[in-house]
């Protein structure tokens, strides 16, 4: 009785051990061929087998498989795309997305977008968006298309906005153009990406000019994003447009302007903030104005020492 009960588990364990042993042997074989520069990148069966090994239960082994595929390069892309799109094992789909990040072959962009939008597994989605960010400029048109569509959830658009920000300067030709997009979501995401460009390239004056221009955007979320960016960048020339934003009818825009002025650390703004406090009717903005005045006054005291 006992032996009969243990047979299926033992059989399954034996199969797993055999799979792992075969994976180890395959990796040794391929690694040697790669080192000796005799690996055949047209060996489809071998490439398919390697991709299948991304389902190995050992994380360190999956990493080794991914690294090996990364060394092989773009000849592995079609097989990784197939696995990402159709493999029943979610572990393989996750690892395929991560491996495509290593290879960074632009041919994978449509498949990665499909995985981001359609795979039910959040880790696969994360792997896909990470790979899209790594692809750089090649991903940008489709990422912007996702942002501009009302069909996709905000969580997906948040991933896309992060990817665009990660790509940054490499995509600036697209990003500068899309600051005038009809979609508020695209304009807001572009502001975030331009902020990174400005951080990385302080001499890129057009990036700062576009952020200032965005403080006058028709949409509150874009104005607020731009004001926050200018504050975080501590861009002193933004003081005047931020003061103008203090007069905006939208209270969230006024609040963002106050916080940005505080971060600029410009003590000349104290008088303007005091004047704004006398006219402000929104309690939450009043509270932020008091905080900003207090912080700027403290900074002034320190500077005088």
For the stretch 91-137, pLDDT in tens is 999 999 999 999 999 999 999 999 999 999 999 999 999 999 999 99
Q: Is the pLDDT of residue 209 over 60?
A: yes
Q: What's the sign of the alpha-carbon dihedral 153, 111, 195, 182?
A: negative
Q: Is the pLDDT of residue 253 over 50?
A: yes
160 found inside a domain = yes
Domain count of the chain?
Answer: 3
Q: Which residue intervals of 168-268 are DSSP H helices?
A: 172-178, 184-200, 205-214, 220-232, 239-245, 251-264
8 found inside a domain = no
Per-residue model confidence (pLDDT) at position 12: 64
Answer yes or no: do 165 and 191 share one domain: yes
Write the pLDDT tens digit of every residue in 71-85. Answer: 999 999 999 999 999
305 found inside a domain = no
Residues 32 and 4: their CA atoms lie apart, in Å, by 43
Q: Which residue intervals of 87-215 are DSSP H helices?
A: 90-103, 109-118, 122-135, 140-148, 154-167, 172-178, 184-200, 205-214
Write the pLDDT tens digit of every residue in 270-289. Answer: 999 999 999 999 999 999 99
The residue range of the domain holding 259 is 218-300
- Share above pLDDT 90 across residues of the chain, in percent, rounded to a whole number: 79
Band of residue 173 on the pLDDT scale cut at 50, 70, 90: confident
Residues 83 and 86: their CA atoms lie apart, in Å, by 5
Answer yes or no: do 255 and 278 share one domain: yes
Per-residue model confidence (pLDDT) at position 5: 46
Band of residue 68 on the pLDDT scale cut at 50, 70, 90: very high
pTM: 0.78
Per-residue model confidence (pLDDT) at position 1: 42
The single residue listed with the structure tokens 């491996």 is 99
Residues 254 and 257: their CA atoms lie apart, in Å, by 5
Q: What is the CATH number of the domain that holds 155?
A: 1.25.10
């Amino acid at each position: 009785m006992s032996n009969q009960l243990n047979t299926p588990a033992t059989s399954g364990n034996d199969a797993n051990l055999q799979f792992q042993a075969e994976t180890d042997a395959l990796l040794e074989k391929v690694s040697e061929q790669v080192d000796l520069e005799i690996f055949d990148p047209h060996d489809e069966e071998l490439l398919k087998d390697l991709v299948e090994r991304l389902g190995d239960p050992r994380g360190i082994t999956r990493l080794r498989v991914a690294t090996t595929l990364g060394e092989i390069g773009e000849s592995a892309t079609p097989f990784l795309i197939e696995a990402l799109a159709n493999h029943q094992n979610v572990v393989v789909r996750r690892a395929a997305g991560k491996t495509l990040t290593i290879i960074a072959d632009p041919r994978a962009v449509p498949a990665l977008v499909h995985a981001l939008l359609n795979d039910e597994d959040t880790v696969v989605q994360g792997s896909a968006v990470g790979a899209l960010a790594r692809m750089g400029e090649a991903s940008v048109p489709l990422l912007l298309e996702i942002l501009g569509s009302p069909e996709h959830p905000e969580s997906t658009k948040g991933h896309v906005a992060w990817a665009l920000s990660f790509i940054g300067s490499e995509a600036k030709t697209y990003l500068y153009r899309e600051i005038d997009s009809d979609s508020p979501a695209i304009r807001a995401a572009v502001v975030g990406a331009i902020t990174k460009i400005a951080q990385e390239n302080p001499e890129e004056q057009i990036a700062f000019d576009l952020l200032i221009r965005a403080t006058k955007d028709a949409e509150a979320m874009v104005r607020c994003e731009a004001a926050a960016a200018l504050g975080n960048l501590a861009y002193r020339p933004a003081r005047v447009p931020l003061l103008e934003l203090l007069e905006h009818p939208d209270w969230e825009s006024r609040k963002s302007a106050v916080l940005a002025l505080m971060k600029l650390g410009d003590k000349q703004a104290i008088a303007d903030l005091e004047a704004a406090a006398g006219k402000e009717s929104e309690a939450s903005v009043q509270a932020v104005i008091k905080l900003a005045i207090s912080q700027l006054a403290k900074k002034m005291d320190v500077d005088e020492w």
